[in-house]
Structure 1
Amino acid sequence: MDNDYLSGVIWFNIGAFSFGLILAISSFVHYKKLGRTRTGVYWAIGCIATCLLVMNGIIKVSDVMDEHMKKEAFELLNERYEDRGDPNNESYDNLEVVVTPDKLRSSTSYNIYVANFNKQYSYKGKIKITIRNKKDKKVFTHVTESITIKPGEKKEIENALYDTWHPNYSWKWLGELKK
């Protein structure tokens, strides 16, 4: 897990705890006025626990969905390699890219996955990705940051954001294979 993810989880939990604490204090004060202090304590503990459980449940569901999308992308990388790859030679034919659009409310996140099926050569460089509409017209082009993909490695590299969803894409390697 990366530091940004852990930082986000920590801040979400701090927010959930703070909201739960506000609810806990409010419920405790309410029940104390009614002369039911013990019930107020139970409600206070329940408010904090519920807020933390709900927030962590949302985070877990999001993580499971992300892992599922990543697993599907890696399976698609394997299928494309089986169709187009060249297992007998070390070449660009053994490098694959999959771009999966993920529709958000006001934009689309294009998740980029790469794989190097070469056995000895690493790829170092960038990838130029062109998103195309249904009529195969270029909508926008995205060039990734410089990456290194070791032999046999598969990974998600980054996301490209755009305001609308488009179904097609093409890609081009802008780098070199090295031993």
Structure 2
Amino acid sequence: MGLILAISSFVHYKKLGRTRTGVYWAIGCIATCLLAMNGIMKVADAMDEHMKKEAFELLDERYEDRGDPNNESYKNLELVVNPEKIRSFTAYNFYVANFNKKYTYKGKIQITIRNKKDKKIFTHVTKSITIKPGEKKEIKNANYETWHPNYSWRWLGELKE
């Protein structure tokens, strides 16, 4: 778009015999479009970081409620699913944390998305992942055509020291 505007303005001012002004307008058009696109990308990145920060805070809260800090166990593994409605589909973002102090989790996670009446809508199994002790991370998301609020999960792997 910036290139089209730049060429158009240059050609317009060149016809008027003001080539130098056309060059300035062309450079201004390209710079303005680049700044606008970078601004949009920065806002999108900031929104993603905010969503990730909120998910990590929720992981901490759930660990405080359900975790077992005295033992190394599956109770110290947490998962949060954050559905994000996008025009024609919903992206289900998955965030995981390992609150164990010594044990690493290696395996897959089976996530079942449920509707408000707790009826199973679809099941997603992640690719094999490794979560080190104390690590929190975002894993690949799943897309589905509609938004549903509830979910359950099951760990399909093992904890190893």
Does 2:127 correspond to 1:141? no
Structure 1: which 5+ runs fail to align? Answer: 1-18
Root mean square deviation of aligned Cα: 0.7
Partner residue, 2:48: 66
Partner residue, 2:99: 117
Q: Where do 1:140-159 residues align within 5 Å?
A: 140-159=122-141
What TM-score, normalized by structure 2, do the two folds share? 0.98
Give distance in 1, aligned partners of 2:122 and 2:73: 28
Structure 1 residue identity aligned to 2:34: L
Residue 35 of structure 1 and its aligned partner are, at CA, apart by 1.8
Partner residue, 2:90: 108
- Larger strand share, 1 or 2: 2
Equivalent pairs, count: 161
Residue 38 of structure 1 and its aligned partner are, at CA, apart by 2.1
Structure 1 residue identity aligned to 2:84: D
Structure 2 residue identity aligned to 1:143: V
Give distance in 1, aligned partners of 2:157 and 2:49: 29
Structure 2 residue identity aligned to 1:87: P
Structure 2: which 5+ runs fail to align? Answer: none
Calculate percent identity across the aligned residue pairs.
Answer: 85
- Alignment partner for residue 87 of structure 1, among 69, 94, 104? 69
Does 2:23 correspond to 1:41? yes
| CA shift digits 1:39-98 (9 cap, x unpaired) | 211110011101111111111110000000000000000000000000000000000000
